[in-house]
A and B are shown apart, each in its own frame.
Chain A
Amino acid sequence: MTNATMRETERVQSSRFANSKGFATVGISTVLLFVFSALAAPTSVSPGAVLGMIPFAAVLAIVGLGQMLVVQQGGIDLSIPGAVSLAIVIVSHEPNGDNNRLFPAILLALGYAAAAGLLNGFMVGRLGLNSIIATLGTNALLYGVVLEISGGIPRSTTRLLASVAAGITFGIPNSAFFALGALAIVAALVKRTVAGRRFEAIGANPLAGRALGLRVRAHQTLAFVWAQLLYSLAGILLAGITNQPTAFQGDSYLLPSVAVVVLGGTSLLGGRGFPFATVIAAIFLSQLDQFVLSLGVPYAVRTLVQAGALAVGVAVYTVDWAVIRQRIRPGSRRAPFLA
């Protein structure tokens, strides 16, 4: 019994420790990665390569911010592939090359996103379903809509969207501004508003939140809605960046989205979110891709290095080393747990 109480206090302390660790770890890793890139494969940090990397990092950052909101409520969102692909398909199929129809198409995409978010929120927040199951179902549903609209056949994006999403202003890719905008909005809402503070409090402990009279279910539902809107924004950008997207372009963002959230230091158990660290983690992962590509190793090695780096990164980061040290110390029998 005493052991259990001790463990609780321990956890609170270690989570407070992990907060500062989150930003520092990912920040330092990213700087180190850039330094290492510059030494081992100088071309991977050349202006052209960095300009090519930023749009994809921006898309990943926006998707990661969405995932972070859901993770803050102790959930996980597996509907990202469907959500991103749906946004892509809507903004490329509906206008069918006509710039004038782009704006209504974007509104339509956001409308679908809000509906999907409400559905997820209803299932998880209201009905209390497990978020893995619920969002997996929603993903299938969204892909149904993708196939209904497109028949699985992609379309080129309109020239307007391509020039906005893939364009460059003041030497910086436009997509970066969108990502920074999303970051500013998410950070301000979560960290600087009353609703945002309530949102984090509920994520940290829904029961305590309810006891305080907070509207727990509404906040949980809204996490999914905001997340979907962010995925939709990411999808719209990606459609413009790739110009000729496939109907399944969102598939490759599911795992990285969770990875950037975890690397950013947000606990999968819910609670405090770290938007800045999440965005930096997105840059880290994208630069890692770029670096391995620049090394010029064969494709097989490339995939192995990426997988290995990800596994090591997440493991080093999530394992609570203090507990392990304690465990190794003779006389202690406590099992290590994941933060």
Chain B
Amino acid sequence: MKRRSKFTMLATTAIVISLAVAGCSNSSSGSSTPSGGATAPAGAPSWCGPKKITLGLLDGFGGNSWRLVTTAAGADEVKKCSSVTKYEYADGQGDTQKAISDIQGMVAKGVNALVVFPDAGQAMLPALRSAYKAGVVTVPYRVFPGGKDGVDYTAWIGADFTTDGKNWGNWIKTNLPDGGNILFISGPKGNSQATDELKGLKSVLTDSKYKYIGETPEVTNWDPALTQQVLTTDIAKYPKIDVIVSDFGPSLVGALPAFAKGGRSIPSLVTSDGNSLGCFFADNKAANPDFKLMTVATGNDNVRLAVQYAVAKATGGKVPSDKVFKAPAFEDSVSGTPSQVQCEKNLPGDIYLSAQMSPTDQAALLKK
């Protein structure tokens, strides 16, 4: 008896909750067609239309300084458009389940536009699709969640990692014209970012005088301790490493001194930027004659394009023509263009001088 009544209670609760949720999401899709016809706010960028909306920014994993700066950049971009009357943020904390329920929660609360960093990739697709089907402008960015624009979500604003690979490849071609041994270091096994970067690299470095050494890419999970172990082993194993390619430069700062321990100069490094890396270069270039550094922007501003796209779609503004964020080349210690290697010694290492947000603003974020 007791068990049965418990079951009935559970079932009733479930029904009540699902009704409530259904009610909420209904009301949200109703409210997504508010008073139109007004004119765009004066002085606003072209992507900011007249319709009043609420926007949600969702992170799959907010736990590093890069994400902190990226989130702040997203919020900053939103602020430029006064048509966005309410802005909300949620952090999935690396938990796919939570990231999914964050999306559902925002839809239930009645947001009009969602900008999502779908860290879990494909696993996020059903949640994105259901948000899109509920009439919410849904813009996943950076990580590809599978699916199609206009079917599963409004549009995917990806980062073009192939361009990064090409930028690196071109630099290697210019600075190592006679070829050399390339050590490519990335994050978790099989991550799509590394696959694209490698594609870009290989499209430029077609000649067989460029040789990849080690497991390409070397698996480090972007964990500084593992990076250090992997690099130490490779230094011992390969007497000649001419250039290291890495898609997360700052994680190498703890590992690069291993070259000195082996009595060798740090070789050329092509990677993404970070203040700690820039300062490491400034401190160590004198003692390491072969140490040259080239970086591409680490792409904090990818989120800005995604926000612009989502806001434009939801408010009726002018939709940006570009759907892909191409990280520009940033530092080059050899040519000095677009910029010499930069180091803000008095500011924390965990800021990104390539980002639009000013270094002091980023430092202030980290102080919190």
Binding site for B on A (CB under 8 A): 43-44, 46-49, 51-53, 56, 96-97, 151-156, 162, 166, 168, 238, 241-247, 249, 252, 289-290, 293-294, 296, 298-300
Evaluate contact between B68 and A48: CB separation under 8 angstroms.
Answer: no
- Complex A-B: 27 CB contacts under 8 Å: A44-B233, A48-B235, A48-B263, A49-B233, A49-B235, A51-B258, A51-B262, A52-B228, A52-B232, A52-B235, A52-B236, A52-B258, A96-B367, A152-B64, A153-B68, A155-B65, A168-B261, A241-B228, A242-B224, A244-B250, A246-B63, A247-B63, A249-B223, A289-B229, A294-B236, A296-B215, A299-B215
The 6 A-B residue pairs with the shortest CB-CB distance, nearest first, are: A52-B232, A243-B254, A152-B63, A48-B262, A49-B236, A156-B349
Kindly list 16 other residue pairs between chains A and B, CB separation below 8 angstroms, not including A153-B65, A242-B228, A293-B230: A53-B229, A151-B63, A152-B63, A153-B366, A154-B64, A154-B350, A155-B349, A155-B366, A166-B257, A244-B224, A244-B253, A244-B254, A246-B224, A249-B223, A293-B229, A294-B233
Looking at B232, B250, B262, the one whose CB has the most chain A CB atoms below 10 A away is B232
Evaluate contact between B236 and A244: CB separation under 8 angstroms.
Answer: no
Given contacts A52-B232, A153-B63, contact A242 B254 (CB under 8 A): yes
Contact of B232 among A49, A168, A243 (CB under 8 A): A49
Chain B interface residue count, CB cutoff 8 Å, equals: 38
Name the interface residues of B54-68: CB closer than 8 Å to any CB of A.
62-65, 67-68
Evaluate contact between A294 and B237: CB separation under 8 angstroms.
Answer: yes
A-B contact count (CB 8 A): 122
Bound-complex Cα distance A191 to B64 (A) = 44
Given contacts A96-B348, A244-B250, A296-B214, contact A46 B236 (CB under 8 A): yes
Q: Is B22 an interface residue (CB 8 A)?
A: no
Bound-complex Cα distance A211 to B214 (A) = 62
- Output the least CB separation between B272 and chain A (Å): 14
Evaluate contact between B233 and A293: CB separation under 8 angstroms.
Answer: yes
List chain B residues, Cβ under 8 A from A155. 65, 348-350, 366
Bound-complex Cα distance A285 to B62 (A) = 33
Evaluate contact between A52 and B189: CB separation under 8 angstroms.
Answer: no
List chain A residues, Cβ under 8 A from B349. 97, 155-156, 244
Bound-complex Cα distance A6 to B253 (A) = 60
In the complex, the chain B residue whose C-beta lies closest to that of A48 is: B262
Q: Is B219 an interface residue (CB 8 A)?
A: yes
List chain A residues, Cβ under 8 A from B85. none
Bound-complex Cα distance A243 to B274 (A) = 14
List chain B residues, Cβ under 8 A from A53. 229, 232
Looking at A43, A53, A156, A238, the one whose CB has the most chain B CB atoms below 10 A away is A156
List chain B residues, Cβ under 8 A from A252. 223, 225
In the complex, the chain B residue whose C-beta lies closest to that of A167 is: B257
Q: Is B276 an interface residue (CB 8 A)?
A: yes
Bound-complex Cα distance A302 to B68 (A) = 33
Contact of B225 among A43, A47, A56, A96 (CB under 8 A): A56
Evaluate contact between B251 and A48: CB separation under 8 angstroms.
Answer: no
Evaluate contact between B276 and A244: CB separation under 8 angstroms.
Answer: yes
Contact of A242 among B64, B215, B225, B230 (CB under 8 A): B225
Bound-complex Cα distance A296 to B232 (A) = 13
List chain A residues, Cβ under 8 A from B68. 151, 153
Binding site for A on B (CB under 8 A): 62-65, 67-68, 93, 189, 214-215, 219, 223-225, 228-230, 232-233, 235-237, 250-251, 253-254, 257-258, 261-263, 276, 348-350, 366-368
Evaluate contact between B63 and A52: CB separation under 8 angstroms.
Answer: no
- Output the least CB separation between B70 and chain A (Å): 12
Contact of B65 among A56, A154, A168 (CB under 8 A): A154
Bound-complex Cα distance A260 to B321 (A) = 58
- Output the least CB separation between B228 and chain A (Å): 6
Evaluate contact between A244 and B233: CB separation under 8 angstroms.
Answer: no
In the complex, the chain A residue whose C-beta lies closest to that of B188 is: A299
Given contacts A96-B348, A97-B349, A246-B64, contact A44 B236 (CB under 8 A): yes
Bound-complex Cα distance A154 to B276 (A) = 13
Evaluate contact between B189 and A299: CB separation under 8 angstroms.
Answer: yes
List chain A residues, Cβ under 8 A from B228. 52, 56, 241-242
Contact of B236 among A48, A153, A300 (CB under 8 A): A48
- Output the least CB separation between A276 and chain B (Å): 25
Contact of A244 among B189, B229, B251, B263 (CB under 8 A): B251
- Output the least CB separation between A82 and chain B (Å): 15
Given contacts A293-B229, A294-B233, contact A51 B261 (CB under 8 A): yes
In the complex, the chain A residue whose C-beta lies closest to that of B274 is: A244
- Output the least CB separation between A305 and chain B (Å): 14
Contact of A156 among B233, B236, B257, B276 (CB under 8 A): B276
- Output the least CB separation between A38 and chain B (Å): 12
List chain A residues, Cβ under 8 A from B257. 166
List chain B residues, Cβ under 8 A from A154. 64-65, 350
Evaluate contact between A243 and B237: CB separation under 8 angstroms.
Answer: no
Evaluate contact between B229 and A290: CB separation under 8 angstroms.
Answer: yes
Bound-complex Cα distance A241 to B235 (A) = 17
- Output the least CB separation between B225 and chain A (Å): 5
List chain A residues, Cβ under 8 A from B224. 242-246, 249
Evaluate contact between A52 and B350: CB separation under 8 angstroms.
Answer: no
- Output the least CB separation between B230 and chain A (Å): 6
Evaluate contact between B93 and A152: CB separation under 8 angstroms.
Answer: yes
In the complex, the chain A residue whose C-beta lies closest to that of B236 is: A49
Given contacts A156-B348, A242-B224, A244-B224, contact A52 B254 (CB under 8 A): no
In the complex, the chain A residue whose C-beta lies closest to that of B346 is: A97
Bound-complex Cα distance A166 to B223 (A) = 17
